[in-house]
Structure 1
């Protein structure tokens, strides 16, 4: 795998490693690690398969900078309108969640340096600066994301080593909530934590000289990295903080403060890690929305920049202190967009059977049925 494909895999990983890194311990630890780990592995498997279906649809339809073109080619104008509506709702919700989380960290970081930034000012500052980087293009995001990802992983490793002496195996077996229906209801947040599929059309266009096998491996590698990081982080957090305490956290800064008794500087390292996780996720999601707007409206970069970031910023300002709620809403939208839409695209493309030599996600009709059942499970999880 060349450096361009590796960088693209890291964009996939970075897109996933964002709000989920913060939300997973807060929503999952209370149910115990055994069931939480099983549910996370199941969600990861279903999400990765759905991403491979979207990859198949992107390749067979001839690609496109955004989902807009792919949906038009595979599902017609009606499917294009539905897909666009779902995509815009999803990406705006995700960007709102990332802006909320990043502003929380930025406000706290500025305060530690003796600077005073209101929460709203932090939201505006983060969105303007990070959005300007996104407007520079996928190549710039790729190169910057590689550096940020390496620093992020290094900070995670440092954090894990620092927390290791205080690790309590007794905490790992504690369960503060035995409501299995409540565990299933966390599926939307977990699914959103692997919500990297939105970047696939952009990355396929970016790697237009790659083989289908290389693109497939790019998606799989990009999905495995966040699974490994999520599991390590979940074990580290639960091993150091009781599940009952984690249940009470509702914001990023509260989670960070919970660790500061272990070492006076641990809060700074964790803030760096979570800040970079949010930033890489913001880059991936914002890149998808920017490319979608560019594909749909055909405007210059300045106009596309304004179209991309004005609604998420306004929404984040109006939805202060709603980090987990916004993430859950995004999870429900993501089920339709990332599971049912790719299923419909691939079903229609395979029915024509004109590109039998092109890439096809593994498993045939049996896995297509699994994908349908997986999407149904995620929807039911929000209604039980």
Structure 2
């Protein structure tokens, strides 16, 4: 895998990691390590296969900067309209969540430095400045994301090392909440934590010279890195926090504060890590929305910049302290967009594919795996309705 493809895998990983590293301890730790691990692996497998279906649809449809072109070529104008509506709702919800998380984190960091800034100031500043990186193009995002990702992994590794002395193996078998129905209800948030599929059209266009096998490996590697990081982080949280602390986790600041009593270094490292996790996720999601707007409206960078960031910023200003709630809404939309839409695209393409498209990448598993993907989507929707 060349550096460009590796960078693209890290964009996939970084897009997923932001929400999950913050949300997973808050929603899973109470149910115990083993049940949480099994559910996370199942969600990762289903999500990765759905991403491979979208990859198949993208390469067979001839690609495009955003989902708009692919939906038009595979599902017609009606499918294009539905896909665009779902995509905009999803990306705006995700950007709102990342802006909210970043504002909370930056506010805490500024306070430690003796600088008092309001949530509104933090949200506006973060959105406007990071948005400039998105407008610079995918190549710039790739190079910056690589550097940020390696710093993020280094800070996570250092945090885990600092936490090892107080790690309690007895905590791993502890279950605070035995309600398995409540565990299943967390599936939408977990699915959102692996929600990197929105970047695939942009990355296929960016890696236009890559083979189908290389693109497939790019997706798989990009999806496995978040799984490993999530499992390590979940082990660390469950092994180091007591039941009272786990029950009090409501936001990013609470998560950092819960670990600060171990060492002053841990608070700083964790602040760096969570900040970079949010930033890399913001880059991936914002890149998808920016390219979708370019694909749809074909405007210059200034107009596209405004179209991309104004609604998420306004939404975040009106949704203070709703980080997990916004992720839950995004999870429901993501199921429809990232499971059922690619499934419909691939089904239609396979029904009417030409000899040329038949030679392009086809997701493994045939019809049985298409049925699995359908049932996976139904499971995720049902988890929000029970």
| TM-score clears 0.5 | yes
Work out the CA distance in 2 between the residues paired with 1:166 and 1:117.
34
Aligned to 2:81: 81
Counterpart residue number, 1:200? 200
Q: CA RMSD in A?
A: 0.6
State whether residues 168 and 239 of structure 1, in contact with CA within 8 Å, keep that contact through their aligned partners in structure 2. yes
The reply on whether 1:369 has 2:371 as its aligned counterpart is yes
Q: Which residue of 1 aligns with 2:93?
A: 93
| More divergent stretch after superposition (326-335 vs 239-248) | 239-248
Number of the residue aligned with 1:301: 301
Cα deviation, residue 244, structure 1: 4.1
Q: Answer whether contact 2:16 2:195 (CA < 8 A) is retained.
A: yes
| Structure 2 match to 1:260 | 260
How do 1:266-305 and structure 2 match up within 5 A?
Answer: 266-305=266-305
Q: What is the match of residue 46 of structure 1?
A: 46
Aligned to 1:358: 360
Q: Which residue of 2 aligns with 1:182?
A: 182
* Mapped partners of 1:15, 1:350: distance in 2: 29
Distance 1:243 1:79, change over 3 A: farther
Q: Is the 8 A contact 1:7 1:146 kept in 2?
A: yes
Shift of 1:52: 0.2
> Is the Cα contact below 8 Å between 1:30 and 1:244 reproduced in 2?
no
Distance 1:243 1:348, change over 3 A: farther
Cα distance in 1 between the residues matched to 2:367 and 2:65: 28
In the alignment, the residues of structure 1 paired with residue 361 and residue 314 of structure 2 have an alpha-carbon distance, to the nearest angstrom, of 41
The superposition leaves residues 113-152 of structure 1 with CA deviations (integer Å, 9 ceiling, x where unpaired) of 1111101100000000001111100000000000000000
Q: Distance in 2 between matches of 1:114 and 1:244?
A: 30
TM-score (norm 1): 0.99
Give the Å deviation of 1:35.
0.6
Q: Indicate the residue corresponding to 1:164 in structure 2.
A: 164
- Show the counterpart of 2:310: 310
Give me the whole-angstrom Cα distance separating, in 1, the residues matched to 2:12 and 2:135.
18
Q: CA deviation at 1:357?
A: 1.1
Aligned residue number for residue 239 of structure 1? 239
Q: Does 1:130 align with 2:130?
A: yes
* Paired position in structure 2 for 1:221: 221
Counterparts of 2:36 and 2:244 in 1: how far apart (Å)? 15
Cross-structure match for 1:330: 330
Partner Cα separation in structure 2 for residue 248 and residue 332 of structure 1? 25
Partner Cα separation in structure 1 for residue 372 and residue 352 of structure 2: 22
Q: Is the 8 A contact 2:31 2:178 kept in 1?
A: yes
CA contact (8 A) 2:54 2:197 kept: yes
- Tell me the CA shift for residue 312 of structure 1: 0.3
Counterparts of 1:272 and 1:246, CA distance in 2 = 21
In the alignment of these two chains, the number of paired residues is: 384
1:276 Cα deviation from its structure 2 partner: 0.1
CA distance in 1, matches of 2:362, 2:372: 16
**Structure 2: which 5+ residue stretches go unaligned?**
none
State the distance in 2 between where 1:242 and 1:223 align.
30
Q: Which residue of 2 aligns with 1:378?
A: 380
> Normalising by the residue count of structure 2, what TM-score does the alignment of the two structures yield?
0.99
Write the deviation string for residues 32-67 of structure 1: whole angstroms up to 9, x where unpaired: 111100000000000000000000000000000000
Determine the C-alpha separation between the residues in 2 that align with 1:5 and 1:131. Answer: 23
Gaps of 5+ in 1: none
Question: Are the equivalent residues in 1 in contact too, given 2:248–2:254 (CA < 8 A)?
Answer: no
CA contact (8 A) 2:91 2:285 kept: yes
- Secondary structure in 2 matching 1:320: coil
Question: Which consecutive segments of 4 or more residues in structure 1 shift more than 3 A?
Answer: none
